[in-house]
Amino acid sequence: MKAPDATTGLTPLHDAQRIVLDAAIPLGLEKISILDTLGRVLGEDIIAERHNPPWDNSAMDGFAVRAEDIQQEHPISKPVTLTVIEDVPAGKMPTKSVGRGQAIRIMTGAPIPNGADTVLKVEDTEHTPDSVRVFKPEPRGSNIRPQGEDVKKGDCIIPKGTTIRSGEAGMLAILAKSFVLVYQRPRVAILSTGDELADLDERFSEEKIINSNSYGIAAAVQEAGGVPILLGIARDTPAALKEKISHGLNADILVLSGGVSMGDYDFTKAVFRDLGAEMNFWKLAIRPGQPLAFGKIQGKLAFGLPGNPVSSMVTFEQLVRPAMLKLAGARGYGRPLLEAVFQEKFSKRTDRRHFLRGVLWREDGVFKVRTTGDQGSGILTSMVKANCLIDIPVEVERINPGDSVTVQLLSGSAWLEQAAPMVSTGHRPSCC
Ligand SMILES: Nc1nc2c(c(=O)[nH]1)N[C@H]1C(S)=C(S)[C@@H](COP(=O)(O)OP(=O)(O)OC[C@H]3O[C@@H](n4cnc5c(N)ncnc54)[C@H](O)[C@@H]3O)O[C@H]1N2
Ligand code: MOO
């Protein structure tokens, strides 16, 4: 790791990410039902034990024929007539072979009978129960889906480390895998610190503020595929902090928020050290989210995130989420990235990488992005409005409208849904 920058004393995010990822070791495996696999990471290679489709089958409703029987010079005026010898619906095997001058009526998905090498679409024919007239000759092999065109027996179809989506779930069913091995979901214990905090629904006096970080972080944990365990609020004493932390050490990751900066009541660092953690305390070269503690306590990853609500969310995104994904066995640890055209003026000092909360949309075939407005680290509405984080590198001092920027897409498809109404007005649709 590079030492913190000599003039600023700040540690590059990239170095912190490398240390965190090096410390994160994938969890064990468990066997689960196919119905529970959505979003889980596969812990085994899925090898096909049979072909899909299992046999050559028809891609159309029509007639299975021999190509050589339907080649004709004047199909409209002198169509060939074939004798229909059998009906094969999907789910039945043919019992007869197609001989010269013969056809078998066949439905989409049904196995191709022996002797046939081509399927005619029903709408290109005239037919009775016993005969079919062919008005449009098809080349040999038309409308036949060959055995194994999708999956070949013995091939690795879904590799270990794949996150299961609907396509993979369907494929598991095709391959008759009703139970599969997946990585365990990371359990993340969440603790908020601070005497100023009151918990949601608690009766509290006017000097208190509601603990929102625990709930934002819990949702972020779930979105990353983990299981949140809420430890509540620790008061600002080392003893209270230690006691609460001890409850969280059954989890795989411990995430604290608050108490990591320079205040008289900021004990996170000291308590982490007392608990035997080999501690990294960083002043990260990012904004928001400068002060941050990270280490291992009794083998568990422990993060002390900054208390400001946006800072805790942004540092979760950049450090905790990647660690969770590595624990969960995933192959990639980052969000999807896009290049977009910045729509505003922005300037900053060249000491920190900034993560601006942004609104991304597509207009005239181009991705465009603007900020959500004020970017203070206590302005949580900036996260509510955002569908992306705009990543402004450390060394960049100024961005002008029309400049290209990199954005990290936040969860789901919100950026697509929001695009249209937000573009024209620049605001969220108002509440009713
Ligand atoms: N002298 C310095 N002061 C501060 C520095 C610094 O470098 N030198 N850094 C500032 C930055 S940047 C940040 S970020 C904060 C981080 O402070 P802490 O992690 O110690 O957090 P707190 O002081 O406990 O709280 C900060 C702020 O966030 C609110 N908060 C805390 N926990 C929650 C919660 N669970 N839910 C909602 N809001 C929470 C808290 O009330 C404060 O307003 O330090 C700066 N100071
Ligand atoms: O890092 Mo603090 O998060 O800038 O407010």
Which of 13, 213, 287, 383, when mutated, tests ligand 2's pocket best, judged by the most ligand atoms within 8 Å of its CB?
287
Domain boundaries, the chain: 13-28+184-327, 37-52+153-182, 57-145, 337-425
Which of 261, 269, 351, when mutated, tests ligand 1's pocket best, judged by the most ligand atoms within 8 Å of its CB?
261
Rounded distance from Cα 380 to ligand 2 centre (Å):
13
Ligand nearest to the CA of 241: 1
Q: Distance (Å, rounded) from C-alpha 158 to C-alpha 168?
A: 7
Token pair 């006691």 is found at 243
Q: Distance (Å, rounded) from C-alpha 182 to C-alpha 177?
A: 13
**For residue 428, what pLDDT is reported?**
47
What interface predicted TM-score (ipTM) does this complex get?
Answer: 0.96
The DSSP call for residue 74 is: -
H or E element at residue 221:
helix 213-223
DSSP 258-311: S--SSSTT--HHHHHHHTT-EEEEEEBSEES--EEEEEEETTEEEEEE-SSHHH
| pTM to 2 decimal places | 0.88
Residue 371 has φ and ψ, to the nearest 5°, of: -80, 170
Fold of 13-28+184-327: Molybdenum Cofactor Biosythetic Enzyme; Chain A (3.40.980)
- CATH superfamily to which 57-145 belongs: Molybdopterin biosynthesis moea protein, domain 3. (2.170.190.11)
**For residue 427, what pLDDT is reported?**
43
Q: Which residues pair with 163 in a beta bridge?
A: 41
Which of 308, 354, 377, when mutated, tests ligand 1's pocket best, judged by the most ligand atoms within 8 Å of its CB?
308
Q: Strand runs (DSSP E) across 366-424, as ranges?
A: 366-371, 388-392, 398-399, 404-409
**For residue 75, what pLDDT is reported?**
67
Rounded distance from Cα 261 to ligand 1 centre (Å):
7
DSSP 164-180: P-HHHHHHHHHTT-SEE
| Ligand 2-lining residues (CB < 6 angstroms) | 287-290, 306, 308, 311, 377
Ligand nearest to the CA of 261: 1
Q: Distance (Å, rounded) from C-alpha 346 to C-alpha 163?
A: 37
- Assigned CATH for 37-52+153-182: 3.90.105.10
- Assigned CATH for 337-425: 2.40.340.10
Rounded distance from Cα 293 to ligand 2 centre (Å):
13
**For residue 432, what pLDDT is reported?**
39
Rounded distance from Cα 378 to ligand 2 centre (Å):
9
140 contact partners, CB below 8 Å, separation of at least 6 = 67, 117, 118
- Ranges of residues in the chain with a pLDDT under 50 are 413-429, 432
In this structure, the residue with its CA closest to atom 12 of ligand 1 is 290
**For residue 90, what pLDDT is reported?**
83
**For residue 267, what pLDDT is reported?**
82
Domains 37-52+153-182 and 57-145 share a fold: no
**For residue 19, what pLDDT is reported?**
96
264 contact partners, CB below 8 Å, separation of at least 6 = none
Question: Which atom from ligand 1 is nearest to the alpha carbon of 233?
Answer: 35
Q: Which residues pair with 204 in a beta bridge?
A: none
**For residue 203, what pLDDT is reported?**
77
Ligand nearest to the CA of 352: 2
In this structure, the residue with its CA closest to atom 44 of ligand 1 is 261
**For residue 419, what pLDDT is reported?**
47
**For residue 135, what pLDDT is reported?**
85
In this structure, the residue with its CA closest to atom 5 of ligand 2 is 377
How far is CA 187 from each of CA 8, 16, 40, 224, 321, rounded to the nearest angstrom? Answer: 36, 22, 14, 11, 12
Ligand nearest to the CA of 293: 1
